Structure formats: C-alpha cells, structure tokens
C-alpha cells in the first residue's frame, strides 16, 4: 500500500470566533489595483450579501483580465498568499492516500495527481467543530475552467450535496441529498494548475434545496453566488482547496 500523504504540515488557528482579515489585490481591465478587505467571522450565521460577494471574488480570478497578471499563477508550482488565504474553519477532505486540511498543491510524486483524476471517487469530508442537530450543504467547484488565465467556463460544478447531518459530518461519512454527482478533477492538458474548492454552509431549517432546470442542464458556467443567495446560505462556515493539474503535464 502506498504511504499516506497529509498536507497538514503547518499549524493553523482553529477557533471559529476569530475574525480573519484577508487583503487581496486584483488588477482589472483598467490596469489599476483594486483592493478588497475581507472580514470573515467563522461564527457568524447572518447573511451579509456584500461580504459574501467579496468572498466569492476572492475565491476566483474572474476579475483578472490580463495574461501578465495571470501568467505567474498559471504556471507556478508554489502556493500564492492569495490561494493560501482561501482556507478557514478546519474542513478536511480525505482521499485514500491524500488528506487535505489546509490550502495546498497536490504533490507530483506517488501518482497522486493521476489517482485523483482517474481512480479515486468522492472523498470523505469532515468537520469536527460542528453542531450535530443541524443540516449542512457542501459545494465543490473549479473556478479555473478551462484555465486560470481564461476561465470562460467558470464555475465548473464538481459536487453539490444538501441535507448533510451534522452528526455524520463530524465522522466524515455522510450521504445527504446529492444535487450534483461528484466529478473527478480532470484539468485539460497544458491548462496549468486548477483550484478545486470545497465550501461548507449551514442549511436553513425551512429550506429544501434544488438546482433549477437551467442549472441542471450544464456543469459549466454555474453561478454559485446566485445559488447561495437564492437559498439564504450566507457565508461559508469552512472552506478548503487543493490545486492540481493534468497528470501528463
């Protein structure tokens, strides 16, 4: 059996009560810097749509219009400060030989990139600091479809599960209502690193979630913000992402 690889190699602050401030800078069409100061309170359940909108902007490079800005991140094999700042809340994604609990790049060795794209099915997803009696929603997207420099098909929906029991989420073994089946990360050849982002939301008690007919007809060009707003999901309680690229590159 291949050795187990864990990306949890640095200490992180797991206290949900701490509000993190993440400052991200983007270069837009007018080539002028635009700064967003994002405050994410991990305990806050209210839905502040302005803060949610900014959070999603920080999770994608859809504002980035120039090859010069994207070029460095497209080919880089090091995790940028921007990408590292996406993760919070202690969410764990667990594949058979790979555990992801912080923002990280899937290592090239041990055929891990090939296995995650061709062999492994849905990972276990676990969050230990959770309320057992509540329900949750898990979302997995690729904001870099078909590439980070030209995300014309973003967001690509890879997995969407509602009605997840908190007690099951604590164990990392849940079923829930699958609104969109799990799709393995399969970045195209020569498209650079792609971000695969997992976000966990608390599901309102009186909401039954579903995809519209238009949303169900395609995985690409999905608008997660519209879905979040439609059902009042608020800001993510926890989020984690890994980066990988086509194993033949």
Instruction: Note whether residue 83 is domain-resident.
Output: yes
Instruction: Note whether residue 138 is domain-resident.
Output: yes
Query: What pLDDT score does 76 carry?
Result: 58
Query: What pLDDT score does 53 carry?
Result: 52
From the list 101, 59, 99, 100, the residue with the least C-alpha distance to 83 is: 59
Residue-level pLDDT, tens digit, the chain, 249 residues: 555 565 543 333 333 222 233 333 333 333 333 333 333 333 444 444 545 555 555 454 333 432 333 544 555 578 999 999 999 999 999 999 999 999 999 999 899 999 999 999 999 999 999 998 999 999 999 999 999 999 999 999 999 999 999 999 999 999 999 999 999 999 999 999 999 999 999 999 999 999 999 999 999 999 999 999 999 999 999 999 999 999 999
Query: What pLDDT score does 30 carry?
Result: 32
Would you say 238 and 171 are in contact if contact means Cβ atoms under 8 Å apart?
no
Query: What pLDDT score does 74 carry?
Result: 56
**Domain region containing 162:** 5-244
From the list 241, 153, 239, 141, the residue with the least C-alpha distance to 191 is: 153
Distances (CA, A) of 198 to 174, 238, 239, 246: 15, 8, 6, 19
Instruction: Note whether residue 108 is domain-resident.
Output: yes
**Mean of pLDDT over the chain:** 79
Torsion of CA 43, 47, 53, 59, to 10 degrees: 30
Give the 3-state secondary structure of 104-131: EECCCHHHHHHHHHHCCCCCEEECCCCC
pLDDT tens digits, one per residue of 51-98: 555 555 545 433 343 233 354 455 557 899 999 999 999 999 999 999
Query: What pLDDT score does 109 carry?
Result: 87
Q: How crowded is residue 146: how many other Cβ atoms within 10 Å of its Cβ?
A: 17
Instruction: Note whether residue 181 is domain-resident.
Output: yes
Instruction: Note whether residue 249 is domain-resident.
Output: no
Would you say 126 and 169 are in contact if contact means Cβ atoms under 8 Å apart?
yes
CATH of the domain at 91: 3.90.280.10
Domain count, the chain: 1
**Helix/strand/coil for 163:** strand
Greatest alpha-carbon span in the chain: 53
Query: What pLDDT score does 57 carry?
Result: 52
């Amino acid at each position: 059996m291949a050795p187990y690889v864990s990306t949890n190699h640095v200490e992180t602050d797991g206290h949900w009560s701490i509000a993190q401030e993440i400052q991200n800078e983007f270069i837009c069409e007018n080539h002028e810097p635009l700064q967003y100061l994002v405050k994410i309170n991990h305990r806050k359940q209210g839905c502040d749509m302005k803060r949610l909108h900014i959070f999603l902007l920080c999770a994608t490079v859809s504002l980035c219009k120039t090859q010069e800005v994207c070029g460095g991140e497209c080919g880089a094999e090091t995790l940028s400060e921007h990408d590292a700042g996406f993760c919070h809340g202690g969410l764990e994604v667990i594949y058979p030989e790979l555990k992801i609990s912080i923002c990280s790049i899937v290592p090239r060795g041990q055929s891990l990139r090939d296995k995650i794209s061709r062999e492994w099915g849905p990972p276990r997803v676990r969050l230990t600091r959770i309320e057992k009696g509540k329900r949750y929603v898990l979302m997995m997207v690729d904001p870099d479809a078909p590439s980070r420099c030209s995300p014309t098909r973003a967001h690509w929906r890879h997995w969407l599960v509602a009605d997840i029991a908190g007690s099951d989420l604590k164990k990392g073994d849940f079923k829930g209502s699958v609104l969109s089946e799990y799709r393995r990360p399969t970045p195209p050849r020569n498209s650079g690193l792609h971000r695969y982002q997992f976000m966990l939301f608390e599901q309102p008690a009186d909401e039954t979630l579903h995809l519209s007919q238009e949303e169900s007809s395609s995985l690409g060009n999905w608008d997660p913000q519209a879905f979040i707003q439609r059902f009042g999901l608020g800001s993510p309680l926890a989020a984690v992402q890994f980066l990988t690229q086509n194993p033949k590159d």
